[in-house]
Amino acid sequence: AFDAEHPLFILYTSGTTGKPKGILHTSGGYLTQAAYTHHAVFDLKPESDVYWCTADIGWVTGHSYIVYGPLANGATQVMYEGTPDTPHQGRFWEVVQKYGVTILYTAPTAIRTFMKWGDDIPAKFDLSSLRVLGSVGEPINPEAWVWYRKHIGGDRCPIVDTWWQTETGAMMISPLPGVTHTKPGSAQRALPGISATVVDDEAHEVPNGGGGYLVLTEPWPSMLRTIWGDDQRFIDTYWSRFEGKYFAGDGAKKDDDGDIWLLGRVDDVMLVSGHNISTTEVESALVSHPAVAEAAVVGANDETTGQAIVAFVILRGSASETDNLVADLRNHVGSTLGPIAKPKRILPVQELPKTRSGKIMRRLLRDVAENRAVGDVTTLADSSVMDLIQSKLPSAGSED
Ligand code: 7RM
């Protein structure tokens, strides 16, 4: 036995922007909340469930929901090391069928990849053991949510869209299966014991229908204790923006029912002719078009509008890259979100730069869009991706 505040681990944040931070977690509170959320959010029945979290074990999701939470709860689980398309693209569904997986926890980036590969692949396997599906890592676009529900969950399994961070240690906002009436694309409500809300620039809570910054207003057991070696940066980053509140760094809005919708990192929100536009919303509008499999949106410096929206898109197998298609996509975004959100440029690419946890590294795409040398690529899952994008776009920064 040792003290509850005994350090448990230091995990460096993935570094999609700036200098990595060593997030310090301690033992008692972290274990309590990892175990509690793993039990409550997945409705875990340790005697009968077979649980599978597909995360990389080096990501916080692997720490909390492969190692600490499930082991503390005595869960039976599948641990998998490998890619989802080796030896074939049905690998995940083969594993679900073989081991009778009942709870599956994966990321939107994986779900969109499975969508791209086709409905016929999961259809070849018996997925009837599944009963709860989870999502984590980025906002899940409604398109992917509906596909996950239908083609993996057989229209039978509740989906829990779990919002949390390395810093929070465990899930903070999520539906509860069998309790929450779910909505595709929204993480919805703070879990029992957690206080989350959305505030404006002056720290005032926004009314339903309003947007601003996600904050946590009360402490919680698994909160980070500091940034390793830099207490001042810990205070500045999380506790100084809004007095007495934890600033998560994510944009969010509340819908008319008071449910929370995450809009991506605040650093990723674009300012176009005085309008705040979230990268996530434009990406979600793009992938709701049948020709688009994936999208990444950045704001690039622009002399007239401050920032201009530049979209990188991966087309679906059947779609081909024509001037018409680009115009069509631009209009599709315009009619979904309004004319101000129409991307100025849309660039079809083969791959997008992502970390191993599936987060798009917009910093690198901004470098391309602003015609700069591409910055540090060491946290990319596949460091050759930027070469591929640039080789396809010799004039990426000078189209206009
Ligand atoms: C668990 C994890 C944290 C950032 C966070 C968000 C984004 C994570 C969701 C989400 C919308 C979700 N830890 N994020 N989950 N955005 N809906 N369900 O990802 O430290 O690696 O990243 O990830 O921006 O701040 S993390």
3-state secondary structure labels for all residues of 105-122: EECHHHHHHHHHHCCHHH
Under the phi-then-psi rule, with left for phi > 0, alpha for psi from -120 to 50, and beta for the rest, what region is 374?
beta
**206 and 295 share one domain:** no
Residue 140 is assigned to a structural domain of this protein: yes
Query: Hey, which of 28-42, 304-318, 356-370 has the most confident mean pLDDT?
Result: 28-42
- Cβ neighbours of residue 30 under 8 Å, at least 6 residues apart? 8, 64, 68, 169, 170, 221, 222
Q: Is the CB of 139 under 6 A from ligand 1?
A: yes
Residue 265 has pLDDT above 50, yes or no: yes
User: Cα–Cα distances in Å, from 177 out to 2, 50, 62, 148, 160?
Assistant: 35, 16, 21, 15, 7
CA-based nearest residue to 292, from 226, 336, 251: 336
Segment 305-325 shows an average pLDDT of: 87
Q: Is the CB of 250 under 6 A from ligand 1?
A: yes
**319 and 369 share one domain:** yes
Q: Is the CB of 186 under 6 A from ligand 1?
A: no
Q: Is the CB of 268 under 6 A from ligand 1?
A: no
CA-based nearest residue to 130, from 108, 158, 106, 107: 158
Distance 182 CA to ligand 1 centre (A): 19
Residue 366 is assigned to a structural domain of this protein: yes
Distance 101 CA to ligand 1 centre (A): 24
Distance 162 CA to ligand 1 centre (A): 8
The model's pLDDT over 45-83, given as tens digits with 9 standing for 90+, comes to 999 999 999 999 999 999 999 999 999 999 999 999 989
Tokens of 366: 């901004």
**300 and 375 share one domain:** yes
- Cβ neighbours of residue 391 under 8 Å, at least 6 residues apart? none
Choose the final residue of a domain: 207, 237, 263: 263
**15 and 47 share one domain:** yes
Residue 321 is assigned to a structural domain of this protein: yes
CA-based nearest residue to 80, from 113, 50, 108, 54: 54
- Cβ neighbours of residue 352 under 8 Å, at least 6 residues apart? 294, 296, 312, 314, 360, 365, 385
Segment 11-39 shows an average pLDDT of: 89
The per-residue pLDDT for 379 is 79
Residue 248 is assigned to a structural domain of this protein: yes
Range with lowest mean pLDDT among 181-190, 239-248, 312-321, 365-374: 312-321
Choose the final residue of a domain: 263, 286, 307: 263
The per-residue pLDDT for 315 is 92
Take atom 13 of ligand 1 and give the residue whose Cα is closest.
165
The model's pLDDT over 161-193, given as tens digits with 9 standing for 90+, comes to 999 999 999 999 999 999 999 999 999 999 999
The per-residue pLDDT for 16 is 54
Tokens of 151: 């083609």
The model's pLDDT over 87-105, given as tens digits with 9 standing for 90+, comes to 999 999 999 999 999 999 9
Average pLDDT over all residues of the chain: 93
CATH number where 129 lies: 3.40.50.12780
**162 and 309 share one domain:** no
Mutate to test the pocket of ligand 1, among 172, 250, 263, 269 (most ligand atoms within 8 A of CB): 250
Take atom 5 of ligand 1 and give the residue whose Cα is closest.
165
Q: Is the CB of 161 under 6 A from ligand 1?
A: yes
Distance 136 CA to ligand 1 centre (A): 7
Residue 2 is assigned to a structural domain of this protein: no
Task: Give the DSSP letter of residue 239.
Answer: I
Question: Do 385 and 352 meet the contact criterion of CB atoms below 8 Å apart?
Answer: yes
**281 and 227 share one domain:** no
The per-residue pLDDT for 398 is 41
The structural domain count of the chain equals 2
**35 and 125 share one domain:** yes
**165 and 295 share one domain:** no
**363 and 255 share one domain:** no
Task: Give the DSSP letter of residue 339.
Answer: G
**295 and 242 share one domain:** no
Q: Is the CB of 284 under 6 A from ligand 1?
A: no
Mutate to test the pocket of ligand 1, among 54, 109, 138 (most ligand atoms within 8 A of CB): 138
Which pLDDT band holds residue 395 (cuts at 50, 70, 90)? low
Distance 265 CA to ligand 1 centre (A): 9
Residue 111 is assigned to a structural domain of this protein: yes
Choose the final residue of a domain: 214, 232, 263: 263
More confident residue, 88 or 378: 88
- What CA–CA distance (Å, rounded) separates 12 from 46? 31
Q: Is the CB of 61 under 6 A from ligand 1?
A: yes
The owner of tokens 């409705």 is 43
Rounded to the nearest angstrom, the gap between the alpha carbon of residue 55 and the centroid of all alpha carbons in its chain is 12
Distance 126 CA to ligand 1 centre (A): 30
- What CA–CA distance (Å, rounded) separates 148 from 151? 6
Question: Do 148 and 134 meet the contact criterion of CB atoms below 8 Å apart?
Answer: no
Domain extent, residue 187, equals 7-263
The per-residue pLDDT for 397 is 42
Which pLDDT band holds residue 14 (cuts at 50, 70, 90)? low
Take atom 11 of ligand 1 and give the residue whose Cα is closest.
139
Residues of 287-325 as b/e, b for ≥16 C-beta within 10 angstroms? bebebbbbbbbbbbebeebebbbbbbbbbbeebeeeeeb
- What CA–CA distance (Å, rounded) separates 129 from 110? 20
Residue 235 is assigned to a structural domain of this protein: yes
Ligand 1 atom with least separation from CA of 135 = 18
The per-residue pLDDT for 19 is 81
CATH number where 362 lies: 3.30.300.30
Q: Is the CB of 386 under 6 A from ligand 1?
A: no
Residue 268 is assigned to a structural domain of this protein: no
**144 and 117 share one domain:** yes
Give the N- to C-terminal CA distance of the chain in Å, as an integer.
65
- What CA–CA distance (Å, rounded) separates 82 from 254? 38
**301 and 350 share one domain:** yes
Residue 394 has pLDDT above 60, yes or no: no
- What CA–CA distance (Å, rounded) separates 317 from 325? 14
The per-residue pLDDT for 393 is 67
Range with lowest mean pLDDT among 18-22, 213-217, 319-323, 380-384: 319-323
Which pLDDT band holds residue 209 (cuts at 50, 70, 90)? very high
Distance 398 CA to ligand 1 centre (A): 33
Rounded to the nearest angstrom, the gap between the alpha carbon of residue 107 and the centroid of all alpha carbons in its chain is 7
Under the phi-then-psi rule, with left for phi > 0, alpha for psi from -120 to 50, and beta for the rest, what region is 224?
beta
Residue 319: phi, psi to the nearest 5?
-80, 145
Q: Is the CB of 216 under 6 A from ligand 1?
A: no
- What CA–CA distance (Å, rounded) separates 261 from 2? 39
